[in-house]
Structure 1
Amino acid sequence: MYRKIIEPRVSETDGVGHINNTTLPVWLEAARNPIFKLFTPDDSFEKWRMIILHVSIDYRSQIYFGTDVEIYTWVKRIGTSSLELYEEIHQNGTLCTKGTAIYVNYNQEEKKSEPIPTWIREQLEEHLYRSEEEQ
């Protein structure tokens, strides 16, 4: 599991006093940086490989300014050229948001997906999600 701490900003707080729902996809993406680094170690957009195909977010509880949040990212599934992530945002021990994101390893020059290299697959496997039944 990857873990990232984010300090909510005043500018992310909406008129009813909680973090705006449009902020959470940005936070989740920020927590994926270690995975992006596996595929594009130099962060070069010319060589960028991780293309997003799908995102799903379930809002479970409000998040507030003034208390850090913890974002957890697991690898749920690794396909031949794609991977599915499972993500959660917690504040004060409460699950506030959960979701999934699907990415494909994409070669921009050739305009096609490519298999995930073995060495990346091995690193991703260290972060596989295990449900409570599997643990």
Structure 2
Amino acid sequence: MTNQSTKKQDLALEDFPFQTYDKVRYADTDRQGHVNNAIFATFLESGRVEFLYDPQHPLAAEEAAFVIVNLNVNLLAEIKWPGRVEIGTGVTKVGNSSLSLLQGLFQNGRCVATAETVIVQMNEQTRKSQPLSNTARAFLIQHQLL
């Protein structure tokens, strides 16, 4: 295990500037009795969507959408049913038309997965990248991981 992955595994939910949760459903489990690995991506999506598409802080420009161009998930431990998963989200980089997120999934205070995601704002008409607004950039900078 590298120092970088050890550091990410040592993250606490409180380290993330944005936090939410999702309920673990019985249907999320697989034949081994734990949450199926594909559902980890669904939990991460819940955190990303709540962060990026908050009606109080719309980040995407009109006629633009956020698209994932890279997603790397590191599975660290099982998620069990019943229960809930805490989701931490923080910005690691703000580019011209892109942003990078680090997310953590936690159950019972333990980090069970981390994910690094690169997202680009895409113009829905041209299907090409579109620069982030100054408002979006300021919001993202406020939510950077320290």
TM-score tier (shorter): 0.7 to 0.9
Question: Does residue 96 of the first structure (1) align with residue 112 of the second (2)?
Answer: yes
Q: Note the 1:1-135 alignment, pairs <5 A.
A: 1-33=17-49, 34-37=51-54, 38-40=58-60, 47-130=63-146
One-letter identity of the residue aligned with 1:115: P
Distance 2:35 2:80 in 1: 6
Structure 1 gap ranges (5+): 131-135
One-letter identity of the residue aligned with 1:79: G
One-letter identity of the residue aligned with 2:97: S
Contact 1:36 1:50 in 2 (8 A): no
Distance 1:48 1:61 in 2: 36
Equivalent pairs: percent with the same residue? 26
Contact 2:60 2:132 in 1 (8 A): no
Give the structure 1 partner of residue 6 of structure 2: none
Specify the SS of the correspondent of 1:22: helix
One-letter identity of the residue aligned with 1:69: V
Distance 2:23 2:46 in 1: 12
Distance 1:95 1:67 in 2: 15
One-letter identity of the residue aligned with 1:35: L
User: 1:36 deviation in Å?
Assistant: 3.0
- More off after superposition, 83-92 vs 101-110: 101-110
User: 1:111 deviation in Å?
Assistant: 2.4
**Structure 2 length-normalised TM:** 0.81
Distance 1:41 1:48 in 2: 5
Q: Residue deviations 1:32-69, cap 9 Å, x none?
A: 12313423489xxxx34101101000000111011211
**Structure 1 length-normalised TM:** 0.87
